[in-house]
Every structure is written in structure tokens, then in C-alpha cells.
Amino acid sequence: MQKRLWSISEYPFQPERHLYYETIFALGNGYLGSRANFEEGLEGQTPATLVHGVYNHAPGMLVPELVNFPNWTGLTLTVDGTPFHLRTKALDLLKPTGGVLLGYKRTLHMDVALLRREALFRAESGGTVKVIFERFVSLADVHVMAQRLKVIAIDGAPRVEILAWIDAEVTNNGVSHWTNLQTTAEADQITVSGKTGQSPYRMGIASRLISPQAVNAASHATQPRLTSVIQLDKDGTVTIDKLTAIYTSRDSDDPLGSAQAKIQEATAIGYDKLYQAHTAAWADHWRDSDVIIEGDEQAQIALRFTMYHVLIAAPQHDDDVSIGAKTLSGFGYKGHVFWDTELFILPPLTLTQPEIARNLLMYRYKRLPGARHKAQANGYEGAMYPWESTDTGEETTPQWSDPQPDGTRIRIWTGDNEQHISTDIAYAIMQYWHWTGDTEFMIRYGAEIVLDTAVFWGSRVELKGDRYELTMQIGPDEYHENINNSVFVNRMTVWHLEQALQLIDWLQQHAPDQARTLTEQLGLTPARLDHWRDVIARMYLPFDAEQQRHIQFDGFFEMEYIPVPHYEPRVGGVWPMLGHHRALQSQVIKQADVVMLMALLGDQVGSREVMLNNWHTYYPRTDHGSSLSPAIHAWVAARLGLMDDAEYMFEHAAMIDLQDNKGNVRDGIHGAASGGLWQAVVFGFCGLTIDHGDLKTDPKLPDHWKSVTFTVYYQGQRRQITVRHPVGNPVGATGS
Ligand code: BGC
């Protein structure tokens, strides 16, 4: 294995980019995610540990958010009394007042999910040490986090004091969520416990310091500490471990007791064996989720990086949580769950880690009551999923934006009118079923979602004259709000109702009891099914017959045309350059919309001519103001054989987080863009589809790619697939 293609490094120290690195070097294990803040702290850093499912609605805030947990990473040292730090400026490197950093490298090893930092530090005494910090959050035992600090005497024989702590005084960018905080410090162990203010969650954290010398504990109201003093010999080395365990009331009745028991168990196992188990678990993950691209190292690293971030957020053991738009790596979007999960993040999991995909779909199943409540509150039937979802399943989209520079707030309509989320969830369920063949899931859970969301659409459509319409919608392109007859929404609704009707037939044949139960429970009367058939037959799909292309929504082409490519090169979207008002009234599109429809439904959307016309119409109008857009464009362009566009869009998608080309990586990883990249490669460039009960590829690879190898599960069978150009190998030819 070429290690180089499995790691990303920061070298030398780039203090001005520390928030970017905090995000991209984040660790996680599907239970929690933890940003890559420095163990010793740094001015302006935003340490955050977010645990799936733990939300709280703080007083004065518009909506609930994922709660930042106490910072468990605190670990540092003094060298001959000089505190270790990352300042590189010293008048005299030989006699540095206050100490000086002489060298630095930090690396995220994605193969084993390990963050490692090496630093060369000279103390005021002149004593110089090499300091190596390592940390991982265990994939094998998700409640365990481990840190190792190794200090090597390079010059002199310094006296080293180690200090470890947990910091309970944490906020989400200034918002406090914890109450009843309590700390203890005894022998070699410190603990913190607390409860969220509004929601019912409790947490417990316990840390131990394992040192060859005595460990002392010091109590503190919010920062319990452990210390240990080591006198290094000349050329001597010392290794100190800090182990931490974390539980919440979501997984234990006594989170603190469980954390204490777990830390005892972890201490008995020890860092090395914990690490072995962790790396073995990662080897399993990568065995199925790695994609090998021969001929393009940048694409290779990007694919691993994005899949790494999908995997560290993917709940392995919990079917009551889902992945927020910014994963667990930052405060952006407050940990809320959008369509990003079902249409962008889920497909790579459905195909490579189906058990995890099932967990994510179960999260939606368990939130059917919230979706039914939303439908009812809006005067509809069935289940209408919230645009932004948290633990409760209720709509949690804020109605107003944060104040703009002029102090005003903008009304946010997505929670009211971005209704396609219900169909996106149905799409993910059908995709999961077709790929996995998990009929047990489908019969017991999936069908109810697909059918009750179909009931919603049946009640939502509007009969106008002799056709059905959908007014006051927001399609994927959020620059145009409250529009009428989005072709994406209308066409996907037709698709949804078609699937629902077929599903009822299938249930009647294969699970007649459940068919009866659901028919009764959801009111799937013959009249309702006839209504669905009528909607399918008479739904209005805006189409420009002269130009043979779809119309994104009613009146789209009557607005001002602004060729987006003229605004290149640019940093940021065209939308802010035009201003809110003009942008809303122009043809500038935020993200793949008609193009998204082409990705999801492929040639069901229209003839090749129509698809090409759609592409040539919408691509030059698209701003890619959302990170969800480029990967979908790459996918569709590859399918259309437009390889220059496909490669350009792929490169853009691959670099969204790695090069911070949206300028907001500090807020968290773009989860959807990450899942989208895998889809651009597998569905786009490789053209993987299910065809008459088997898998088919149709490679359209960039010229410089020699081959792509990936693994998928189809109907429970593991298939390793290699495609090359010009014509791929038959699927599965390279083994199982
Ligand atoms: C995009 C949405 C997306 C949301 C969260 C918005 O900017 O337009 O499609 O769901 O971000 O990622």
C-alpha cells in the first residue's frame, strides 16, 4: 500500500489556516466526531466533539443544534519549566526566551484514522525535545478515545512535566448547552458529567493518564487535571498515554458510571492493543469502501479523503441517528439532517456498507410521526418530512436567517416549501432495496415510508383545468423560491407515485399481510390509487417544445439571462455579486436542478437530444453556489460523454474541502459533496447500473485514468469491479 496516497499533511505549521485543518483533520467513529484542535490549545481555535443524536435547543436560539461536548483532548507539557507552544518567532534560536518551535509536521493517516503531529521544541533552558502527539477515536470500541504523547530528548536532559485535562467549559460558538456540570479528580482519573439544558440528555466522560512516573490529580470546577513529572536522560524518551471514555444517556442509564467502567477496561487493554483493534476495524471499512484510481494521484487522494469523512460520520451501531450536512466535523447547519444524507451521502454507503445505510434509513422510519405531524399541520395527508431534521423529527428549519450586514433578516422558505425531501427519502429507500435485496427492511419499514409520502403527494397536488400542478415549491435550486411547477419536483412526484403503485402490487404478492395492514393504516383505497394514476397521467411537466428542453419552472426563461461563465475567475458565488433581489429575478441557478433530475432518473428524463439540450441550457446558468452541485454535474456530463465538462466539474468537486474552494471549511466538511464524489466516479465515470438483475458498467473515464477499482454489494454479494477504457471489463471479472 502506498502510504503517500493515504495521508494529508500540514507542513510546515500554517497558523492562519488552523480552523481549516481543524475540520479536514477531524476524527470520528460514527458515534462521535472530534475536530483537530491542538491538544495544548491555540488562540481562536474551536475544539468540538459532537456526538450523534445529542441536540439541545438553547434559550434565545431559533432552532436546536448538535451539542459540543467537553473537550477531552487537553494534553501538554513543559520542558524545564517552559510551556510547549507553537510560536516560531525567537530573537535567538540558541537562547529562546519563552521557548521556540523549531519544526512541525501534522498528518492525517486516513488508512488508520490516526492524527499525528511531530514538533521540535527548544525550551528557554536550551533543552530541545522532539514531541510526537498521536490520537485516534476508536472504531472498534466507539466509546474510547486514545492519545499518546512521546517526548524525545534531542539536546540536553530536560525535566518534563505532563499536564492532562478535560475542559467542561465549552460552547457552540458562544452558546452554552450544558447544565449540572460536575467534575472529579482522583488518583490517575478525572471525570466530567452534565445534562443538556432543554433536551433530556446526560453525558459522562472519564480520562486517565498512564505515565511511567507518579500521576497527581487536581480538582477544578470545570477543568479537572492530571500531572506527571519525568526527568529525561540525555537521548532519553518517555511515552505517556491519555485514554478517555464517553457515554451519553442515549446509550447508558448511567453515562458517568459507564465511562468509568470503560476507562478501566481500556486502561487494562492499553493503547497499543486498542490501536490494533482500531486499525483492524478500519481495514475492514476500507476493504469495502476504497476506490482505487490508477493514473490520477490527486483524484485518488480526494476520493479517499471524501470517503474517510463519510465513514467517520456513518453510524455503525445506532439506527436512531443520521448524518448532518456538515457531518460531525463542525457547527455548520447546526448538525441538521437534510436531503444531503439520502441522495448524496447514502448511496456510497448503500453500495459499500449496507448495514450502515440501513441504520440511516431507520432514522427516517422512526421519524414518521414527525413527518405525519408536519403534513397534518400544513393541511395535507400522509407523511411530509421536514426539510431540516434533528432528533425529534419535527421541522427544524429556522424561519429567519441570521442578521445580514444591514441588520435585516431574510425569511427562509425551505422549511415551508422545499418539499422534495419526502421523495428524496423514498428514492434512497428504493435504491437501498434494489441494491441490497433487503426485503425484510422493505416490508417492515421501507414500504411504509414510500407509501405514506406518496399519500402526502396525492393530497398535495393541485388540479388546475385538465392537469395537475405543484405551486409554491422550492426545487434543488434554492435561488428561486416559491416557484410554480418545478420540473424536478413534478417529475420526481410522478416517479414517486409510480413506485408506490408498483410497490403495492409487489407487497400484495410477496407480503399480503403487510399489504393489508398498510392499506388499512394508510388508507390506500382503490379511489386513492386511481387518483395517483390520474396524477401520473396528467402531471404538468414544463417543456419547451421548440428548443426540445425542459423548463426548470414556470416563467424561468422570462427572467434576466446572465451567463455565469462571464463571472470567472471568481471566489464565491455569482449570487452575492448580483445581490439578493437581482439574483432572484435572473436565470442564475444555485445548483444542479434539472441536471439533478437527469442524474437521478437517467434516460427516463428524455431522449439523448433532450438531455443534451438540457445540459447546454442549464450548465452555463449554474453558479455552483452549493457544494452539492459540481459532483452531480461531473456524473451527468460523464454519462453524456462530455468529458471536458465532466473532468472540470470533477476536479472542482474533489477540491471543495481539500482546497477550501468555498472558503467555509472551518464550519465543517461538506458531507454531500463528499458522497457525491464517489457517485461521480462510480455512477458517472464508470457508469455502474443494475441491468436486468445484474450489474453493468459503461466506462467513460478521463483519458489519463488507467483504471478504477471499487467494491459494491449487490443482493448481499460482494463484487469487486475494475473498469478500464475504452470498453470496461465485464462486471465482476476481477473477482469477488
Ligand atoms: C443547499 C441545499 C443543501 C443545504 C445543506 C444548501 O446550500 O442549497 O441543497 O441541502 O445547503 O447542505
Which of 329, 331, 337, 340 to mutate for ligand 1's pocket (most ligand atoms within 8 Å of CB)? 340
Contact at 8 Å (CB) between 340 and 333? Answer: no
Neighbours of 662 (CB within 10 A): 19
DSSP H or E run through 712: strand 707-714
- The residue whose CA has the least distance to atom 1 of ligand 1 is 626
Q: What is the pLDDT of residue 414?
A: 98
- The residue whose CA has the least distance to atom 11 of ligand 1 is 626
**Which of 565, 597, 623 is the C-terminal boundary of a domain?**
623
The chain-wide mean pLDDT, for the chain, equals 96
Non-local CB neighbours of 199 within 8 Å, separated by 6+ positions = 54, 55, 56, 57, 64, 391
- The residue whose CA has the least distance to atom 12 of ligand 1 is 325
**Which of 239, 259, 280 is the C-terminal boundary of a domain?**
280
Tell me whether residue 386 is in a domain: yes
Q: What is the pLDDT of residue 484?
A: 98
> Could you tell me the distance, in angstroms and rounded to a whole number, from the CA of residue 658 to the centre of ligand 1?
19
- Mean pLDDT over residues 368-373, rounded? 98
Supply φ then ψ for residue 139, to 5 degrees. Answer: -85, -25
- Same domain, yes or no: 299 and 271: no
> Could you tell me the distance, in angstroms and rounded to a whole number, from the CA of residue 704 to the centre of ligand 1?
32
- Same domain, yes or no: 660 and 720: yes
- Same domain, yes or no: 58 and 121: yes
Centroid of chain to Cα 450: 24
The Cα–Cα gap between 637 and 628 comes to 15
Strand partners, 9: 107
Which of 628, 632, 657 to mutate for ligand 1's pocket (most ligand atoms within 8 Å of CB)? 628
Q: Is residue 329's pLDDT more than 60? A: yes
**Which of 623, 656, 671 is the C-terminal boundary of a domain?**
623
- Same domain, yes or no: 384 and 484: yes
Cell of 735: 473477482
- Mean pLDDT over residues 716-723, rounded? 98
CA distance between the termini of the chain: 20
- Same domain, yes or no: 317 and 268: no
Tell me whether residue 358 is in a domain: no
Supply φ then ψ for residue 141, to 5 degrees. Answer: -135, 100
- Mean pLDDT over residues 666-679, rounded? 98
Range of weakest confidence among 142-151, 439-448, 571-580, 596-605: 571-580
Q: Is residue 729's pLDDT more than 70? A: no
Q: What is the pLDDT of residue 710?
A: 98
- Which ligand 1 atom lies nearest to the CA of residue 339? 10
Could you read off the pLDDT of 214-235 as tens digits, one per residue?
Answer: 999 999 999 999 999 999 999 9
- Mean pLDDT over residues 526-536, rounded? 98
Cell of 25: 483533520
Q: What is the pLDDT of residue 727?
A: 54
- Mean pLDDT over residues 636-664, rounded? 96
> Could you tell me the distance, in angstroms and rounded to a whole number, from the CA of residue 344 to the centre of ligand 1?
11
> Could you tell me the distance, in angstroms and rounded to a whole number, from the CA of residue 99 to the centre of ligand 1?
46
Q: Is residue 735's pLDDT more than 50? A: no
- Which ligand 1 atom lies nearest to the CA of residue 670? 12
Could you read off the pLDDT of 349-370 as tens digits, one per residue?
Answer: 999 999 999 999 999 999 999 9
- Same domain, yes or no: 213 and 100: yes
Contact at 8 Å (CB) between 366 and 448? Answer: no
- C-alpha distances (whole Å) from 494 to each of 183, 427, 515, 541 are 57, 12, 22, 10
> Could you tell me the distance, in angstroms and rounded to a whole number, from the CA of residue 625 to the centre of ligand 1?
9
Non-local CB neighbours of 269 within 8 Å, separated by 6+ positions = none
Q: What is the CATH number of the domain that holds 416?
A: 1.50.10.10
Q: What is the pLDDT of residue 732?
A: 41
Q: What is the CATH number of the domain that holds 38?
A: 2.70.98.40
- Mean pLDDT over residues 379-398, rounded? 98
Q: What is the pLDDT of residue 736?
A: 35
Which of 390, 417, 626 to mutate for ligand 1's pocket (most ligand atoms within 8 Å of CB)? 626
Supply φ then ψ for residue 530, to 5 degrees. Answer: -65, -40
DSSP summary character for residue 348: H
Tell me whether residue 47 is in a domain: yes
- Mean pLDDT over residues 105-129, rounded? 98
List 478, 546, 609, 651, catalytic entry: 478
Tell me whether residue 348 is in a domain: no
> Could you tell me the distance, in angstroms and rounded to a whole number, from the CA of residue 173 to the centre of ligand 1?
21
Q: What is the pLDDT of residue 730?
A: 44
> Could you tell me the distance, in angstroms and rounded to a whole number, from the CA of residue 393 to the centre of ligand 1?
18
22 catalytically annotated: no
The Cα–Cα gap between 416 and 374 comes to 10
pLDDT band, very low/low/confident/very high, at 1 (cuts 50, 70, 90): low
DSSP summary character for residue 175: B
Tell me whether residue 352 is in a domain: no
Tell me whether residue 671 is in a domain: yes
Pocket of ligand 1 (CB under 6 A): 325, 333, 338-340, 476, 478, 590-591, 626, 628, 672
404 vs 219, which has greater pLDDT? 219
Across 332-440, the runs of DSSP E, i.e. the strands, are none
- Which ligand 1 atom lies nearest to the CA of residue 626? 7
The Cα–Cα gap between 16 and 18 comes to 6
Tell me whether residue 457 is in a domain: yes
- The residue whose CA has the least distance to atom 7 of ligand 1 is 626
Please name which of 220, 203, 271, 180 lies closest in space to residue 32, comparing C-alpha atoms.
203
- Same domain, yes or no: 463 and 576: no
Question: Structural domain of residue 166, as residue ranges?
Answer: 3-280
Strand partners, 73: none
Contact at 8 Å (CB) between 320 and 362? Answer: yes
Please name which of 462, 467, 529, 465 lies closest in space to residue 499, comparing C-alpha atoms.
529
What percent of the chain is predicted at pLDDT more than 90? 92
- Which ligand 1 atom lies nearest to the CA of residue 338? 10
- Mean pLDDT over residues 191-197, rounded? 98
- Same domain, yes or no: 569 and 502: no
- Mean pLDDT over residues 292-320, rounded? 98
- Which ligand 1 atom lies nearest to the CA of residue 333? 5
The Cα–Cα gap between 293 and 351 comes to 18
The Cα–Cα gap between 385 and 393 comes to 8
- Mean pLDDT over residues 430-450, rounded? 98
Q: What is the pLDDT of residue 444?
A: 98
Q: Is residue 346's pLDDT more than 50? A: yes
Range of weakest confidence among 3-7, 93-97, 130-134, 516-520: 93-97
> Could you tell me the distance, in angstroms and rounded to a whole number, from the CA of residue 588 to the centre of ligand 1?
16
- Same domain, yes or no: 537 and 550: no
The Cα–Cα gap between 48 and 328 comes to 9
pLDDT band, very low/low/confident/very high, at 186 (cuts 50, 70, 90): very high
Q: What is the pLDDT of residue 734?
A: 41
- The residue whose CA has the least distance to atom 9 of ligand 1 is 476
Q: Is residue 482's pLDDT more than 70? A: yes
Range of weakest confidence among 66-70, 404-408, 542-546: 404-408
Supply φ then ψ for residue 365, to 5 degrees. Answer: -60, -45
Q: What is the pLDDT of residue 406?
A: 85
- Same domain, yes or no: 265 and 123: yes
In three-state form (DSSP H/G/I as H, E/B as E, the rest C), the secondary structure along 497-561 is HHHHHHHHHHHHHHCHHHHHHHHHHHCCCHHHHHHHHHHHHHECCCEECCCCEECCCCCHHHCEC
- Same domain, yes or no: 491 and 565: no
pLDDT band, very low/low/confident/very high, at 337 (cuts 50, 70, 90): very high
SS3 assignment, position 662: coil
Tell me whether residue 187 is in a domain: yes
- The residue whose CA has the least distance to atom 5 of ligand 1 is 325
- Mean pLDDT over residues 438-443, rounded? 98
Contact at 8 Å (CB) between 49 and 243? Answer: no
- Same domain, yes or no: 445 and 494: yes
pLDDT band, very low/low/confident/very high, at 726 (cuts 50, 70, 90): low
The Cα–Cα gap between 496 and 450 comes to 8
Q: Is residue 733's pLDDT more than 60? A: no
Non-local CB neighbours of 248 within 8 Å, separated by 6+ positions = 51, 53, 54, 201, 202, 203, 204, 255
SS3 assignment, position 172: strand
Q: Is residue 562's pLDDT more than 70? A: yes
Question: What total number of domains does the chain contain?
Answer: 4
Cell of 677: 464524489
